[in-house]
Amino acid sequence: MHIDKHKKMLLFRYSNYRRTDFIAEHNKVISKNGYSWMLKAGKKSSTDKIDRVLADGGYLILKSPIKEGNNYYVAIFDSFVENNPDDKNGYPEYYKYFMDDMYDALAYQWFRIRGIYRMDASQADKIVLQTNNKRIPEVLETTRTAVMFVQSTDIIRLEEL
């Protein structure tokens, strides 16, 4: 599997809420349903930009915390909603606790993902910010921004989990 050159993507830094393995929990739901809803909480991202990412293949770069391996993954999404999805069995169980804890404090956007792939950290050098073409590894060292619109500068190789 690979991502072609010049594809628009969305990069999310994620955390493992209450020590739950974000990637493994979403993969469990994907194995069961063929998809999983992934929650993005916090400031809403531009729906126009998300639509452009979706039109370019729906690639979400998922970046784990440094203390949890500093890994990169790529999820592929095929739709998104700004309200809670109707399918209550379509997302990891731990989201119910997260939403109980944080519901009124945050805005939500949900992405329906169909698969998650591993991306070797060396491939991150092929991803730049859309706004200024700065390489992602350099940007991540200097900002705490959780969501960024990025694009590929070359073919990016992905591995099955």
What ranges do the domains of the chain cover? Answer: 2-160
Task: Count the neighbouring beta carbons within 10 Å of the beta carbon of residue 92.
Answer: 21
Using the predicted structure, report yes or no on whether residue 63 has a pLDDT greater than 60: yes
Across residues 5-34, what is the average pLDDT?
Answer: 88
Tokens of 23: 């990637």
What is the distance in angstroms between the CA of the first residue and the CA of the last residue of the chain?
12
Write down the mean pLDDT value for the chain.
Answer: 87
Rounded to two decimals, the pTM is: 0.87
On the 0-12 / 13-18 / 19+ scale of CB atoms within 10 A, 150 is buried
pLDDT of 85: 79
Single out the residue of 88, 101, 93 nearest to residue 24, CA to CA: 93
Q: What pLDDT, in 10s, does the model give residues 113-133?
A: 999 999 998 999 999 999 999
Q: What pLDDT, in 10s, does the model give residues 48-58?
A: 999 999 999 99
Using the predicted structure, report yes or no on whether residue 92 has a pLDDT greater than 90: no
Tokens of 58: 């729906």
Tell me the one-letter amino acid at 131.
T
Tokens of 121: 């950290």
Contacts of 53 (CB under 8 A, 6+ apart): 8, 9, 10, 59, 60, 149
pLDDT of 154: 95
> How many angstroms separate the CA atoms of 4 and 8, rounded?
10
Q: How confident is the model at residue 142 (pLDDT cuts 50, 70, 90)?
A: confident
On the 0-12 / 13-18 / 19+ scale of CB atoms within 10 A, 131 is exposed
pLDDT of 33: 94
Across residues 129-146, what is the average pLDDT?
Answer: 84
